[in-house]
Amino acid sequence: MDAAETDVSQLSFEAALARLEEIVRTLEKGEAPLDRSIELYQEGDRLKRHCEARLRDAQTRIEQIALGADGRPSGVTPFNAD
């Protein structure tokens, strides 16, 4: 893991998303030299993967209220997206 990946792993979801949006705007302008564009694309890919992982982690922590046979809350169950 290189220093850039370590830095990305320390970012909050919101900070990573803001940086990713900044990179997308820069690349969409098409004004960066090729080498810089490649570096930005690679950083953007790391940020995207980081954001996806943070979302997956958050999703696994979400709990749903379980209802009993009488329709009243009976506890919580882990979130299941399937």
Please tell me the predicted confidence (pLDDT) of residue 5. 61
Q: Give how many domains the chain has, as a whole number.
A: 1
Residue pLDDT, tens place only, 27-80: 999 999 999 999 999 999 999 999 999 998 887 777 666 667 787 777 777 666
Question: Is-above-0.75 flag for pTM?
Answer: no
What is the structure's pLDDT at 16? 97
Mean local confidence (pLDDT), 6-13: 88
Q: What token pair was written down for 54?
A: 């943070």
Give the mean model confidence (pLDDT) for residues 21-26.
97
Domain range for 35: 3-78
Question: What pLDDT is attached to residue 57?
Answer: 85
- List CB contacts of 43: < 8 A, sequence separation 6 or more: 4, 8, 19, 23
Average pLDDT rounded to a whole number, residues 5-10: 80
In sequence order, what DSSP letters do the residues of 37-79 get, joined into one string? HHHHHHHHHHHHHHHHHHHHHHHHH-EEEEE-TTSSEEEEEE-
| b/e sequence 36-58, b meaning 16+ C-beta within 10 Å | eeeebeebbebbbebbeebeeee
